[in-house]
Amino acid sequence: MRRILGLSAILVLLATGSCGNSGPQSTGAVTPDLPVGVPTGTGALAIDMAGTWTIQDAAVIETNAAFPNPPFNGTPMVFEPTRIASIGGVSVAPADLTALIGSPLVSYVNVIDSSTVFYGLVVDDRATGGPRLETALAGGAVSANTIAVEAFNSIQLPSDPVPHFTRSVYVLVRAPGTTPLQHRPEEWTFEDLARSAFGGL
In the chain, how many domains are there? 1
Burial of 129 (0-12, 13-18, 19+ CB in 10 A): exposed
pLDDT of residue 176: 73
Residue 76, pLDDT > 80, answer yes
Report if pTM > 0.85: no
Indicate the helix (H) or strand (E) that contains 170: strand 164-174
Higher-confidence residue of 193 and 140: namely: 140
3-state DSSP call for residue 98? Answer: helix
Q: How many degrees, rounded to 5, is the angle at CA 19 between CA 4 and CA 167? A: 20
3-state DSSP call for residue 146? Answer: strand
Domain that holds residue 107: 2-198
The pLDDT tens digits for 21-62 are 333 333 344 578 899 999 999 999 999 999 999 999 999 999
How many Å is the maximal CA-CA distance in the chain?
48
pLDDT of residue 192: 61
